């Protein structure tokens, strides 16, 4: 299955009768701050939206609580994207979080989790589509029109080892 056909999220359409959720092409981006984060970051959500200005998208920020959860997630519904900039935009979206103090950022479809525990080798293959940290760099194995491949155990292990070596996250 191609990435463009396999990355989906459940999107809530307001005003819909019956089941208001629909499966749509999208990604959920997660940012994890070791010491928590300042909610005023959401005031900068416009700069996140600008990353995808070459297409047509809707975004929805979400807060998470709990020591093992990402602090902030941004759900992105893609109506139209520039396939030539896809990987660059995914990377810039992940860097958006780390530029604001997140230790690591990752993204995936509906099956990806907000828990930092996703950065361990025993997760289901393919749950994490892409990840970025300042110390481990950008990791993504599939462009938009390529076969959808999530990060492998090898990439996840490398990310975990880099985070562990910084003694920041208890993974």
Helices (H), the chain: 3-6, 45-51, 86-98, 153-165
What is the reported pLDDT for 83? 94
Least confident of 38-42, 117-121, 132-136, 145-149: 117-121
So where are the chain's domains?
A: 3-165
Stretch 115-126: mean pLDDT: 66
In this predicted structure, which of 72-81, 121-130, 147-156 has the lowest mean pLDDT? 121-130
pLDDT at 131 over 80: yes
Distance CA(126)–CA(20), nearest Å, equals: 27
3-class SS of residue 163: helix
Q: Is the pTM of this model over 0.85?
A: yes
Range 97-101, long-range pairs (CB < 8 A, 24+ positions): 97/29, 97/30, 97/31, 97/72, 97/132, 98/31, 98/132, 98/133, 98/134, 100/31, 100/37, 100/41, 100/44, 101/33, 101/37
pLDDT: which is higher, 126 or 141: 141
Residue 11: phi and psi, rounded to 5, are: -115, 135
Would you say 75 and 86 are in contact if contact means Cβ atoms under 8 Å apart?
Answer: no
pLDDT per residue as tens digits for the range 48-106: 999 999 889 999 999 888 777 888 999 999 999 999 999 999 999 999 999 999 999 99
- From CA 74, how far away is CA 9, in angstroms rounded? 12
């Amino acid at each position: 299955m191609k990435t463009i056909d396999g990355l989906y999220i459940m999107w809530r359409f307001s005003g819909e009768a019956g089941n208001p959720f629909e499966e749509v092409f999208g990604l959920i981006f997660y940012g994890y701050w070791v010491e928590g984060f300042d909610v005023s970051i959401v005031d900068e959500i416009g700069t996140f939206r600008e990353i995808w200005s070459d297409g047509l998208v809707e975004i929805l920020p979400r807060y998470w609580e709990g020591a093992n959860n990402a602090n902030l997630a941004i759900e992105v519904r893609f109506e139209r994207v520039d396939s030539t900039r896809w990987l660059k935009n995914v990377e810039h979206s992940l860097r958006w979080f780390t530029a604001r103090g997140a230790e690591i950022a990752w993204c995936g479809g509906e099956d990806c989790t907000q828990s930092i525990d996703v950065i361990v080798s025993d997760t289901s293959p393919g749950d994490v589509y892409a990840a970025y940290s300042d110390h481990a760099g950008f990791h993504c194995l599939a462009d938009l029109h390529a076969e959808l491949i999530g990060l492998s155990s090898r990439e996840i292990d490398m990310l975990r080892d880099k985070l562990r070596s910084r003694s920041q996250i208890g993974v």
